[in-house]
Amino acid sequence: MQNTMTTIENLYHVYRSTRYIIEKNIPGDFVECGVWKGGNLMMVAMTLKLLNVTNRKIYLYDTFEGMSKPTEKDIDLKNEDAKQEWTDKQKSDHNEWCYSALEEVQSNLYSTGYPKENLIFVKGMVEDTLPKTLPGQIALLRCDTDWYESTYHELLHLYPLLVKDGFLVIDDYGHWKGAREAVDQYFTENKINMFLYRIDYSARGGNKP
Q: Residue 77 domain-assigned?
A: yes
Give the model's pLDDT for residue 80: 76
DSSP state of 176: B
Tell whether 177 is covered by a domain: yes
pLDDT over 90 at 5, yes or no: no
Given a contact cutoff of 8 angstroms between Cβ atoms, the answer to whether 147 and 71 are in contact is yes
Buried b (16+ CB within 10 A) or exposed e, 26-52: bebbbbbbbbbbbbbbbbbbbbbeeee
pLDDT in tens, 116-161: 999 999 999 999 999 999 999 999 999 999 999 999 999 999 999 9
What percent of the chain has pLDDT above 90?
Answer: 77
Neighbours of 137 (CB within 10 A): 12
Q: Residue 21 domain-assigned?
A: yes
CATH number of the domain residue 178 falls in:
3.40.50.150
- Report yes or no on 139 lying in a domain: yes
- How many folded domains does the chain comprise? 1
Query: pLDDT at position 106, please?
Result: 98
* Domain carrying residue 195: 8-207
Domain assignment of residue 159, yes or no: yes
CA distance 10 to 25: 22
- Is residue 128 domain-resident? yes
| pLDDT band at 96; cut points 50, 70, 90 | low
